[in-house]
Structure 1
Amino acid sequence: METIPRHDIDADFARKQVDTLQLLIESAMEDVVADGDEDALSAVRSRAIMRFQYLTVLDPTAGREETWRAAVFASQVANSVFTRTSKRDETVEHQLGEQTVTLPVVGPNWHATPVDWMTAAWLAVITRSEERIQELCSTGKYTLRGSGAKVEDYLHPWIETLQRFLSGEPVSPALLESVLDLSDPENAIYASREYMLLVAYPPVNILYRILRGTAAQFTEALTQATTAHRDYWSQAELADDPAGFVALPVLAMAIRGRDNGFPIEVESDYLPENLVNATWSNR
């Protein structure tokens, strides 16, 4: 078993952020419930994701119900941004925590970018919601391209690959290999070479090993991806960013590997064990 420690994070600050973010979420949710305000929903989404990430500092194994509920809420909100883009009705109902909220359908918009889709997909896999996974798999190219976001070339075929994989459809070798090629750091347009190498490419490599590799190759890819995540997010200017506290894409790929019969031979607070092992979703 390979153990990869998480970089040092200030637990006292994390505790304060958890409480502050909860208050901010409750405030923004008032506007979401009142009229489905787009900006308020986007604010709830970003704060909910951060709150979950900060909670893992206080609960590294994600063994507390509060952490699990925070992950589920973050996933629900992340999905809601996309369900309101692709429906033909004027409104859509979405479960957000304990509330069922009616949201106006707004079509493609700058809150629903390919990067946002990726985050929503990781959270849906991590919380093992087949309903939310399939909602995201039905998100069309028009919706994602219609956001107007400028993204790296690999992202659109990567999303298509994930939609096929998560839907149980075959993924052609040519499609996956195109993602591997396009995620090469030399092809970066907007992101840094370091980001492409340490953050963007590793999850693609894990999926490649799930589909084409052996258990040993999967373990090697998972180890490399978790180590790369630490190397990137432990840099001085990034160490306090909650995006680095949990390796969302690596965690999601580890879960899918486990579900496909691969043993998990990596231990790390970047990959909370109760999320990897489906402890909460089995209750």
Structure 2
Amino acid sequence: MVSVVPGHLVPQPDAEAFADRLSERVARRVDELEESADMIDFAFSTALLALQAHCVADPEADRLETWKATVTAMQLGSALFAVTGAGEGAVECFINDRLRTIPAIGPQSYADAGNWLNAFWLALICREQKRMTQLCEIPLERLRSPEGAYDEFVYHWIDVQQTYWLRRPELVDKLMTTFETSHPDAARIAPRDAVQCLMYPPLNLFYQVVRKREEEFGPALVEALNLHKTYWTADEDRATKREGALALGPLAMACLAHDGKFPIDVESPFIPKYLLTHGWLGEFPT
């Protein structure tokens, strides 16, 4: 039996046109990166917003434009860490249909844990294994924000995903530590509702995948999507934001489960069908 989790954002008549305009803005910012990468964080954040806007207009992601927005966001996320990981020279990055030579800019405060999670999840959704490996090889210390913007469990969570993907030892111990430190009462920086509704659910879904608990994954995914919806409808301001259109973390974990042959009997615009099943595989270079 298929479980359905409805979305909360209703596409307006101009939704597709708005999403396409955002993608055009992203394309211009990508072109500018070859002169200077100083604004690459804005290019990445705009690409994420464009992806969310496309998902509002196209809840199943069956438009080619939605897949291209996903790929472009993924490419920019990887590029952000590539150019901030090199202190001199230039870095070659394939973004928006062609190879680009982008000046290296060295360490930047925005090459942090939050952007790492978004970049890694996008690479997972696009099934870009090489990019996933490159991101997982980034040392945790490089992701620490000098302003202390993230709770410690966020770094434990990144460590768990890096350990899993690179097949490093002590995965179970690291996973248990992450669970212990992810309780809302243990958080000192993130708001309680963000921890409970947005940060914890992907970790729980990952646990179901690692333990190969196929029967438990579906209910956990339904819970994750309902919590996502709860967070993004908590007040009128949040309920109108396009940032809530896509549940990026749960979608990434659902892609991991799907590729592991788990039955995914859940339908929701928060996890667009053709992103989950990689329906646009091979449509154009990534």
How big is the shift at 1:170?
4.9
* 1:154-212 CA distance string (max 9 Å, x none): 01111011112223445522210111111110012122111111111011001111112
Structure 2 equivalent of residue 62 of structure 1: 61
Structure 1 segment 57-206 matched on structure 2, within 5 A: 57-87=56-86, 90-145=89-144, 148-170=147-169, 172-206=171-205
What SS class does the counterpart of residue 81 from structure 1 fall into?
helix
2-side partners of 1:160 and 1:88: how far apart? 24
Q: Relative to 1, partners in 2 of residues 1:281 and 1:19: Cα closer, same or farther, differing over 3 Å?
A: closer
2-side partners of 1:175 and 1:100: how far apart? 37
1-side partners of 2:282 and 2:137: how far apart? 26
Q: Relative to 1, partners in 2 of residues 1:106 and 1:149: Cα closer, same or farther, differing over 3 Å?
A: farther
How big is the shift at 1:99?
2.8
Letter in structure 1 aligned against 2:241: D
1:43 aligns with 2:51: no
2-side partners of 1:68 and 1:118: how far apart? 19
Contact 1:95–1:101 at 8 Å: present in 2 too? yes
Letter in structure 1 aligned against 2:9: D
Letter in structure 2 aligned against 1:245: A
Contact 2:9–2:245 at 8 Å: present in 1 too? no
2-side partners of 1:147 and 1:179: how far apart? 21
Letter in structure 2 aligned against 1:160: D
Gapped regions of structure 1 (runs ≥ 5): none
1-side partners of 2:117 and 2:159: how far apart? 11
Letter in structure 2 aligned against 1:251: L
What SS class does the counterpart of residue 33 from structure 1 fall into?
coil
1-side partners of 2:58 and 2:246: how far apart? 11
Q: Relative to 1, partners in 2 of residues 1:170 and 1:209: Cα closer, same or farther, differing over 3 Å?
A: farther
Q: TM-score, normalised by structure 1?
A: 0.92
Letter in structure 1 aligned against 2:202: P
How big is the shift at 1:107?
2.6
Q: Relative to 1, partners in 2 of residues 1:112 and 1:147: Cα closer, same or farther, differing over 3 Å?
A: farther
Letter in structure 2 aligned against 1:18: A
Structure 2 equivalent of residue 258 of structure 1: 258
How big is the shift at 1:241?
1.8
Q: TM-score, normalised by structure 2?
A: 0.91
How big is the shift at 1:89?
5.8
Superposed CA RMSD in Å reads: 1.9
2-side partners of 1:208 and 1:155: how far apart? 15
Structure 2 equivalent of residue 9 of structure 1: 10
More off after superposition, 164-173 vs 184-193: 164-173
**What count of residue pairs does the alignment treat as equivalent?**
281
1-side partners of 2:209 and 2:82: how far apart? 29
2-side partners of 1:224 and 1:263: how far apart? 16
Q: Percent same amino acid at aligned positions? A: 29
How big is the shift at 1:108?
2.1
Contact 1:108–1:147 at 8 Å: present in 2 too? no
Q: Relative to 1, partners in 2 of residues 1:237 and 1:150: Cα closer, same or farther, differing over 3 Å?
A: same
Structure 2 equivalent of residue 208 of structure 1: 207
Q: Relative to 1, partners in 2 of residues 1:37 and 1:175: Cα closer, same or farther, differing over 3 Å?
A: same
How big is the shift at 1:149?
4.8
How big is the shift at 1:137?
0.9
Contact 1:33–1:101 at 8 Å: present in 2 too? yes
Contact 2:87–2:107 at 8 Å: present in 1 too? no
2-side partners of 1:7 and 1:278: how far apart? 24
Letter in structure 2 aligned against 1:180: F
What SS class does the counterpart of residue 22 from structure 1 fall into?
helix
Q: Relative to 1, partners in 2 of residues 1:88 and 1:107: Cα closer, same or farther, differing over 3 Å?
A: closer
Q: Relative to 1, partners in 2 of residues 1:125 and 1:171: Cα closer, same or farther, differing over 3 Å?
A: farther
How big is the shift at 1:86?
2.6
